Structure 1
Amino acid sequence: MKLELQSIQYNAALSEETYAYSAKLYADGKHVADVANRGHGGWDEQYWRDHSARQAIEAYFATLPKHDTGYQLKGEPFMTQPDLESWSNEQVERFVLLKTIKAACRKKVVGIIGTDQYTFKFDPDKLDTPYSDGQTARQLFIKRNPGLTILNGLTDDEMMEAIRPQSGAEQSR
């Protein structure tokens, strides 16, 4: 099953304990629900357009393995079952993170080495322009900063993969 959140509207000012957002949920290319959260720590609101899709989505999440939360209860690992709400939260988190990174990439060169983030005051539009010796600024940045991954110009999935070790963000299913 392919799930997507589209038309995400995020409001940072209203986000207190949870993300304040609204979005359209698509399952296998079909708009099946509208989802939202008011940002005050409550549950997501789900307005189903297709109730049979709800049953199929709930059954899909029930087949996924449980996640270790990192906590213990009476000495046993506390596990949680993925569900539509936790998945939606991950998708909104991804949306907010990508929006932040892309805003930074419009003004500066943004990169990471391991868990360290770097920004360089350099016009990102000139990053791949070759100099007289044939090298580009991108190549020079990487040569001078071993292990540097420059985020400018990467696809959304490539950015998420590059920052995964430092953010703990999960890639969309």
Structure 2
Amino acid sequence: MKIELRRISYNAALSQETAAYTAEIWIDGKLAFHARNQGTGGADFYHRVGRWTEAEVDGWLKANRPLRSLGDIACDHDLEIEVSDLLARELERRRLVRLLRTNLITIEQNSILKYPLRKRPLETIARAVRATNPDAVIVNGASDEVFARALDMLLAAP
């Protein structure tokens, strides 16, 4: 089962205790639910529009995803956790895209580093970074795999 979010609308100003968003949940390439959260700490709301029920999706996720640890508590993976993970990934992806406009982003020694461009050419900063650390991986303009690796590292950071 491939679960993805599309048409995500996120509002940081309304996000108080939870993320305020609306999105479409697509399962195996078909629209399954409209999802939303008002951002005031409550649970997500799902409006079924496809063939899948929330219980069927929760059952599949419970059987196919590892338990989620929240401190000392372990809970089953369900649709709300899956949507939360997908939303967090998309928001971090958007943040990384914004950072790439004004910074040189590198992966160095299993860390993400950013070097502000400050109206200097990207290649000038990249040359200086490569001179001091030839093993640095430049994320700007790199392949999708490098971008995904940088995104995974940002999501894993505490």
- Give the structure-1-normalised TM-score: 0.74
Q: Would the aligned equivalents of 1:151 and 1:159 in 2 still touch at CA under 8 Å?
A: yes
The structural deviation recorded for 1:158 is 3.7
Q: Distance in 2 between matches of 1:155 and 1:88?
A: 26
The structural deviation recorded for 1:97 is 0.9
Query: Is 1:67 aligned with 2:71?
Result: no
- In structure 2, the CA distance between the partners of 1:166 and 1:106, relative to structure 1 (3 Å rule), is closer
The structural deviation recorded for 1:10 is 0.8
After superposition, the CA RMSD in angstroms is: 2.5
Q: Note the 1:34-73 alignment, pairs <5 A.
A: 34-50=34-50, 52-63=52-63, 64-69=65-70, 71-72=71-72
The correspondence for 1:94, drawn from 84, 89, 98, is 89
The structural deviation recorded for 1:167 is 3.4
Number of residue pairs matched by the alignment: 153
What stretches of structure 2 of length at least 5 have no aligned partner? none
Which residue does 2:147 correspond to in 1? 159
The structural deviation recorded for 1:152 is 1.4
Q: Distance in 1 between matches of 2:143 and 2:38?
A: 30
- In structure 2, the CA distance between the partners of 1:156 and 1:53, relative to structure 1 (3 Å rule), is farther
Which residue does 1:14 correspond to in 2? 14
- In structure 2, the CA distance between the partners of 1:17 and 1:104, relative to structure 1 (3 Å rule), is same
Query: Is 1:115 aligned with 2:131?
Result: no
- In structure 2, the CA distance between the partners of 1:149 and 1:15, relative to structure 1 (3 Å rule), is farther
Q: Would the aligned equivalents of 1:98 and 1:156 in 2 still touch at CA under 8 Å?
A: no
Q: Deviations over 1:51-110 (max 9, x none)?
A: 5343431221120221333x33xxxxx211111111111111111111111011122212
Q: Which has the larger radius of gyration?
A: 1
